[in-house]
């Protein structure tokens, strides 16, 4: 069995790491390059950077961040936020990113997934899906969860896999920031219906939640933010606990 991955996520706004609950009430969590270096040194398997800034300077700031991170870490990292073209991706990969994450731009123009996978390879293309369970159905949302679409989580995930996505980053908006655990039922269904890796996101609050998402949710990787940023869980301790419970991890 492949080793399960632990992935700290850094939401970036105006060059700083921030964290909120259910995508709101943001607070500062530190310098992203310093945090990235710390995570790489303490056993993170990968990193994800999501730029949630709405500024015109976004692209330049993001390129500078990518360059800074690439100089400091030796683990793969994914960058997302406002990416909507082959050109955007080309610039980020040239400056050191290993993968890119697309979300709203894929919903608005699904062919972008095809274009990116054909140009850069599916291993570079992560499609992030934010979904909320409403009346028993998982509905894809955009704009940090504010705007519902008509897309069903499972149908959309299958479509982007067929278009060439290499991974799905699924964030349950019902669970995000709550620290009550991941949406394991939905994750397990995604894992069963798709043939590409699924990254669990939204809801990590303690070490057992990671154990549960790997065992019950069948996730390939688990992403979290605040529990790492505010030292509620240290990655070396987490990996030892996962190993103790029979989950394969890189130590």
Q: Give me Rg for the CA atoms of the chain.
A: 17
Residue from 130, 176, 212, 220 carrying the catalytic annotation: 130
Handedness of CA 116, 52, 142, 139 (dihedral sign): positive
Residue from 11, 45, 51, 176 carrying the catalytic annotation: 11
Q: Are 238 and 210 in contact (CB under 8 A)?
A: yes
Mark out the alpha helices in 44-128 (DSSP H runs).
58-72, 86-94, 104-108, 111-120
Longest dimension (CA), the chain: 47
Q: Are 10 and 16 in contact (CB under 8 A)?
A: no
Q: Residues 233-244, buried b or exposed e (16+ Cβ, 10 A)? A: bebeebbebbee
Active site residue 130: yes
Q: Are 125 and 102 in contact (CB under 8 A)?
A: yes
Hey, which residues does 48 pair with through a beta bridge? 9, 78
Active site residue 176: no
> Hey, which residues are catalytic here?
11, 130
């Amino acid at each position: 069995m492949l080793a399960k991955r632990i992935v700290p996520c850094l939401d970036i706004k105006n060059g700083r790491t921030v964290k909120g609950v259910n995508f709101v009430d943001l607070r500062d969590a530190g310098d992203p390059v310093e945090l990235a270096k710390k995570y790489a040194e303490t056993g993170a398997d990968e990193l994800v950077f999501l730029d949630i800034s709405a500024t015109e300077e976004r692209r330049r700031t993001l390129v500078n961040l990518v360059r800074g991170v690439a100089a400091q870490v030796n683990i793969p990292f994914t960058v997302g936020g406002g990416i909507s073209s082959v050109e955007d991706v080309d610039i980020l990969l040239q400056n050191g990113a290993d993968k890119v994450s697309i979300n709203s731009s894929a919903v608005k123009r699904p062919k972008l997934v095809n274009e990116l996978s054909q140009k850069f390879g599916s291993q570079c293309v992560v499609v992030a899906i934010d979904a909320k369970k409403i009346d028993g159905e998982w509905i894809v949302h955009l704009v940090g969860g504010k705007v519902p679409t008509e897309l069903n989580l499972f149908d959309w995930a299958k479509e982007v896999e067929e278009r060439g996505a290499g991974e799905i980053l699924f964030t349950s908006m019902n669970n995000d920031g709550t620290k009550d655990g991941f949406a394991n039922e939905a994750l397990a269904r995604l894992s069963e219906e798709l043939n590409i890796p699924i990254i669990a996101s939204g809801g990590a609050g303690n070490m057992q939640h990671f154990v549960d998402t790997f065992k019950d949710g069948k996730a390939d990787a688990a992403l979290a933010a605040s529990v790492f940023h505010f030292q509620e869980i240290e990655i070396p301790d987490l990996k030892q606990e996962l190993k103790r419970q029979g989950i394969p991890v890189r130590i």
